[in-house]
């Protein structure tokens, strides 16, 4: 038996219109999280013929996207390329194009949350919202999923609880004095004329871009140099969208980038925040420094159900299933295989079909046609030897 409590600090019973008062069913699959990964893999399960399923969501569909700062937009562009069999980069389901639905190339978080709600309705996905998962245990062949709305039984569980709601904040002395970018509802509402940003990857550059457009002076610190990385993998280097933004005149005039500069401490005294770097420099501002430091991710809450890789991410077999707990799957940006990082939608969506096939076959469902269709849409990545290729002409 593998068991543990998941302390997500949201265990009070919440009102939901779609949670039955008594549910004794044994589901073939329960998905935890109704973000891009949970909704996407739910649709794949339906396509594979797995109908006995439930999606459990602690807030509402797409709530992480809805919580993005107002100004933040997708860096990956949407384009209605589906007509020639090239799935829109931001699509989570075969045949679906957010560009066609939304008529926007770089959606905001709220745009995409609305898109996920639309898909959940269109596919009539069974979802319990406002239902927080607080524990998962497996006894013999059945999982028991504990929630604030009672326990749920399942043969398979897909963990798709994402990263956004689990930010990295414990980083150095005084990091608790800083404010994580995931808590900013709009950069236009941030007070102060000068801002210090710790982290220079996508979120840090995004924050610097919007603040500089609001006339603020910005300093960005990163222990590496994401704007200088020589790789074409956007999981490691900045995206073209961010590089393009960095050429804006406001950015050039108001943003100073400090690469290879590690922040070791933040202090607050007499209304002034002081940021100290490992090379002995001190920078000050009257507003809390912004942490654009990324996310710990939710996978640590189910670490008892997986072996860990050296980097702390769950070790997965070729079906993205746990190597220690049969029937326990992972979907979304925390999926890792060797050196491959599946942190963008266009990457991790290619594993939905792999998970759906594995579960369908475990239930005795024939999957040949499903696999053929998913493969033809580039939604069935079972050969990872093609990944990691650099663009020779970039």
Ligand X SMILES: Cc1cc2nc3c(=O)[nH]c(=O)nc-3n(C[C@H](O)[C@H](O)[C@H](O)COP(=O)(O)OP(=O)(O)OC[C@H]3O[C@@H](n4cnc5c(N)ncnc54)[C@H](O)[C@@H]3O)c2cc1C
- CA dist., res. 72 & res. 88, Å (int): 20
Q: How far is the CB of 150 from ligand X (least distance, A)?
A: 13
List of E strands, the chain: 2-5, 26-32, 53-56, 127-128, 133-139, 142-147, 150-159, 179-180, 194-198, 217-221, 255-258, 263-269, 272-277, 282-285, 290-291, 328-330, 336-337, 340-341
- Residue 207 binding ligand X, by CB under 6 A: no
- Residue 337 binding ligand X, by CB under 6 A: no
Interface residue with ligand X among 160, 184, 328, 359 (CB under 6 A) is 160
Torsion sign over Cα 276, 281, 286, 292: negative
Q: How far is the CB of 214 from ligand X (least distance, A)?
A: 18
What are the backbone dihedrals phi and psi of residue 177, each rounded to the nearest 5 degrees, phi first?
-80, -15
- Residue 290 binding ligand X, by CB under 6 A: no
- CA dist., res. 165 & res. 67, Å (int): 9
Restricting to residues 105-144, name those near ligand X by CB under 6 A: 132-133
Paired residues of 6 in beta bridges: none
Contacts of residues 256-260 at CB distance under 8 Å and 24 or more positions apart, as own/partner, are 256/218, 256/219, 256/220, 257/200, 257/220, 257/222, 257/227, 258/219, 258/220, 258/221, 258/222, 259/200, 259/222, 259/224, 259/225, 259/227, 259/228, 260/222, 260/223, 260/224, 260/225
Q: How far is the CB of 284 from ligand X (least distance, A)?
A: 27
Closer CB to ligand X, residue 48 or residue 345? 345
Interface residue with ligand X among 30, 31, 36, 43 (CB under 6 A) is 36
Restricting to residues 358-387, name those near ligand X by CB under 6 A: none
- Residue 305 binding ligand X, by CB under 6 A: no
- Residue 76 binding ligand X, by CB under 6 A: yes
- Residue 164 binding ligand X, by CB under 6 A: yes
Interface residue with ligand X among 31, 32, 120, 379 (CB under 6 A) is 32
Interface residue with ligand X among 28, 30, 33, 114 (CB under 6 A) is 33
Distance from chain centroid for Cα 192: 30
Q: How far is the CB of 8 from ligand X (least distance, A)?
A: 4
Interface residue with ligand X among 78, 97, 203, 242 (CB under 6 A) is 203
The b-or-e profile of 198-219 (16+ CB within 10 A means b, else e) is: bbbbbbbbbbbbbbbbbebbbb
Interface residue with ligand X among 27, 43, 47, 72 (CB under 6 A) is 72
- Residue 298 binding ligand X, by CB under 6 A: yes
- Residue 38 binding ligand X, by CB under 6 A: yes
- Residue 34 binding ligand X, by CB under 6 A: yes
- Residue 30 binding ligand X, by CB under 6 A: no
Restricting to residues 46-65, name those near ligand X by CB under 6 A: 56-59, 63-65
Q: By the criterion CB under 6 A, which residues form the site for ligand X?
A: 6, 8, 32-38, 56-59, 63-65, 68, 72, 74-76, 132-133, 160-162, 164-165, 202-203, 298, 332-333, 343-346
């Amino acid at each position: 038996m593998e068991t543990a409590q998941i302390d997500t600090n949201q265990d009070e019973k919440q009102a939901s219109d779609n949670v039955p008062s008594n549910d004794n069913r044994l589901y073939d699959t329960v998905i935890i999280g109704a973000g891009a990964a949970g909704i996407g893999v739910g649709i794949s399960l339906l396509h594979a013929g797995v109908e006995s399923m439930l999606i459990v969501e602690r807030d509402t569909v797409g709530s992480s996207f809805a919580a993005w700062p107002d100004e933040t937009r997708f860096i990956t562009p949407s384009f209605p390329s589906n007509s020639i069999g090239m799935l829109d980069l931001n699509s989570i389901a075969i045949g679906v194009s957010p560009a066609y639905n939304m008529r926007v190339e770089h959606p905001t978080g709220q745009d995409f949350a609305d898109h996920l709600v639309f898909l959940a309705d269109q596919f009539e996905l069974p979802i319990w919202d406002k239902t927080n998962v607080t524990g998962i245990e497996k006894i013999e062949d059945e999982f028991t999923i504990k929630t604030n709305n009672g326990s749920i039984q399942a043969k398979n569980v897909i963990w798709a609880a994402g990263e956004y709601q689990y930010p990295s904040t414990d980083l150095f002395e005084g990091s608790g004095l800083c404010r994580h970018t995931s808590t900013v509802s709009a950069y236009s509402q941030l007070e102060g004329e000068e801002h210090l940003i710790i982290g220079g990857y996508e979120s840090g550059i995004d924050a610097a871009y919007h603040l500089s457009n609001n006339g603020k002076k910005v300093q960005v610190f990163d222990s590496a140099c994401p704007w200088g990385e020589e790789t074409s993998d956007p999981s490691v280097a900045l995206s073209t969208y961010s590089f393009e933004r960095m050429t804006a005149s406001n950015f050039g005039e108001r943003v100073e980038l400090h690469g290879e500069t590690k922040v070791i401490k933040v202090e607050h005294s007499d209304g002034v925040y002081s940021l100290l770097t490992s090379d002995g420099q001190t920078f000050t501002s009257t507003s809390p420094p912004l942490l654009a430091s990324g996310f710990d991710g939710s996978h640590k809450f189910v670490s008892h159900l997986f072996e860990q890789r050296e980097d702390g991410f769950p070790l997965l077999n070729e079906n993205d299933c746990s190597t220690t707990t049969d029937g326990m799957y992972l979907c979304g940006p925390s999926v890792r295989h060797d050196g491959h990082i599946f942190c963008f939608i266009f990457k991790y969506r290619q594993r939905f079909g792999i998970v759906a096939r594995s579960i369908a076959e475990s239930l005795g469902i024939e999957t040949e046609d499903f696999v053929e269709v998913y493969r033809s849409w580039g939604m069935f990545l079972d050969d990872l030897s093609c990944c990691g290729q650099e663009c020779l002409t970039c």
